[in-house]
Amino acid sequence: MTDEAATRKLPKRREGRSPAYPYVPVHKALERAQELFAQEGTHNAPLSSALSAWGYSHKSSGGRQTLATMKYYGLVEIAGEGDGRMIKLSEIARKIILDQREDDREKRALIREVALMPSAHKTIYQKYPDGLPSDGTVQHYLVFERGFNTDAAIELLAEFKQTASQIQLYQSPQPPDKGDVEAPSQEEEPAQIEVGDKVQITIGGVDQFAGGATVIGFSDDGAWVFTNQSKSAAKLEEVTLLEAASAKHVEKRPEVPDHLMQQNDIKLPKGSRKAVFPLSDGDVILTFQDGISEASLRRLKKYLEIFLDEQIELNQESKPS
């Protein structure tokens, strides 16, 4: 199941009884928490208001699934019964959302705690603490030993794998020293990623290029990587080496176009990215924060449409009659 499959249109619960499990991976649940915070802050909200923050009507089955999933992750507190229920963000959700510190180790630890809070996730992780075997093996375990039906086992495993990737569950923890948090040393970079290497860029647990991409250069500070598959640079920590370039390959190294290098002069705050739109009159560069919610993206789309319409009208008015 891809990230597109884990959006507003949640999968329908399959027939047959299965233990409860979240319907979306942890980073999607955190987006829903951010949406609730944007609308209600840290206050108690009626059930209907919470559902509207997620884009659902009061009677929507998707809204009920979302609320249940948020509870499995421990991201909301629910008081009352039925339609009179009141919803608010949990303490751990507030800590994650409000933590804007540069040193994000505590925040990452809290996200890991949230990710493993659903009992279905604990079941899989306790059975396979050192890494997952084949999908068939895990699904067999869930069906015959844990009581899931086949469809539920398939959906749960796909969602769990996305969550595990997001929190780097099966990667050896390598906590950086305090002095190394701000930026990687440029001397260490060539030993990891070099020009000509075949790499994959992974954002939010999702690989960006089906066949990988080739590194064509680095920013001056070594924190950004340019590839032949994108107009925008990627953060070094988002890049994974797939295949090192052969000596023959790197004899003639491609140069990074000047306009791409100049784009890197824009100093981005931590947790931000930029998108470059090449036009004949010059590139348009849009900077934005990672993890923008779907609701915010829809608002941004409307703002951009209004802005572009105004610019078109101004251009038409400025033309000689």
Same domain for 16 and 112, yes or no, is yes
Mean pLDDT check: name the lowest of 129-133, 206-210, 273-277, 303-307.
273-277
Q: How far apart are CA 43 and CA 34, in angstroms?
A: 13
Tell me: do 49 and 18 sit in the same domain. yes
Q: Encoding tokens for residue 228?
A: 């032949």
The answer to whether position 157 is within a domain reads yes
Q: Show the tokens assigned to 137.
A: 């093996």
User: What amino acid occupies position 11?
Assistant: P
Q: Which pLDDT belongs to residue 261?
A: 47
- Has residue 321 been placed in a domain? no
Res. 318: pLDDT tops 50:
yes
Phi, psi of 205 (to 5 degrees): 80, 5
Look up residue 227 and give its DSSP letter: E
Q: In this predicted model, which residue has the larger pLDDT, 228 or 125? A: 125
DSSP 15-54: SS------SS-HHHHHHHHHHHHHHHTTS-EEHHHHHHHT
The confidence band for 54, taking pLDDT boundaries of 50, 70 and 90, is very high
Does any domain span residue 127?
yes
| pLDDT of 168 | 92
Same domain, 246 and 294: no
Which of helix, strand or coil describes residue 165?
helix
Q: Average pLDDT over the chain, rounded to whole? A: 79
Whether residue 289 has pLDDT greater than 50: yes
Q: What integer pLDDT is reported at residue 172 of this predicted model? A: 60
For position 2, what pLDDT does the model report? 39
Residues 154 and 248 in one domain: no
Please indicate, yes or no, whether residues 84 and 128 belong to a single structural domain of this protein. Answer: yes
Q: Dihedral through CA 292, CA 295, CA 297, CA 298, nearest 10?
A: 180
My answer on whether 240 and 253 are in the same domain is yes
pLDDT at 227: 83
Identify the domain containing residue 93 by its residue range. 4-166
Q: Specify the higher pLDDT residue, 235 or 158.
A: 158
Predicted confidence (pLDDT) per residue in 215-251, tens digit: 887 776 677 888 888 777 788 888 888 888 764 444 3
Q: What is the CATH number of the domain that holds 206?
A: 2.30.30
> Are 88 and 227 members of one domain?
no
Whether 175 is in a domain gets the answer: no
180 or 123: whose pLDDT is higher? 123
| End-of-domain residue from the set 166, 200, 227 | 166
For residue 243, give the 3-state DSSP assignment.
strand
The answer to whether residue 51 scores a pLDDT higher than 80 is yes
Domain assignment present for 179? no
Assess whether 71 and 40 both reside in one domain.
yes
State the sign of the Cα–Cα–Cα–Cα dihedral 122, 128, 134, 139: negative
> pTM for the whole thing?
0.51
- Same domain for 243 and 286? no
> String of b and e for 86-117 (b: at least 16 CB within 10 Å)?
ebbbbebbbebbeeeeeeeeebeebbbebbbb
Strands 198-203 and 239-243 turn out to be antiparallel
* Helix, strand counts (H, E) of the chain: 11, 11
Say what percent of the chain tops pLDDT 90.
Answer: 42
Lowest mean pLDDT among 20-24, 269-273, 300-304: 269-273
User: Within a domain: residue 12?
Assistant: yes
* H-helix or E-strand spanning residue 277: strand 272-277
Q: What average pLDDT does the segment 305-321 reach?
A: 73
Domain boundary among 225, 240, 265: 265
Looking at the structure, do residues 35 and 146 belong to the same domain, yes or no?
A: yes
Contact between 157 and 142 (Cβ < 8 Å): yes
Q: How many folded domains does the chain comprise?
A: 3
pLDDT value at residue 229: 81
Instruction: Indicate the angle between helix axes 135-144 and 119-127, nearest 10 degrees.
Output: 120
Is the pLDDT at 31 greater than 90, yes or no? yes
Q: Does 306 share its domain with 239?
A: no
For residue 238, CA distances in Å to 10, 224, 244 come to: 28, 9, 17
Asked whether 315 and 270 are in contact (CB, 8 A), the reply is no
Q: Are 34 and 161 in the same domain?
A: yes
- Domain final residue pick, 166, 181, 214: 166
Q: Is residue 82 part of a domain?
A: yes
Instruction: Return d(Cα 25, Cα 61) in angstroms, integer.
Output: 18
Whole-number Å distance between alpha carbons of 203 and 33: 20
Give the range among 26-30, 45-49, 226-230, 251-255 with minimum mean pLDDT: 251-255
Q: Is residue 172 in a domain?
A: no
pLDDT value, residue 251 = 38
pLDDT level of residue 5 (50, 70, 90 thresholds): very low
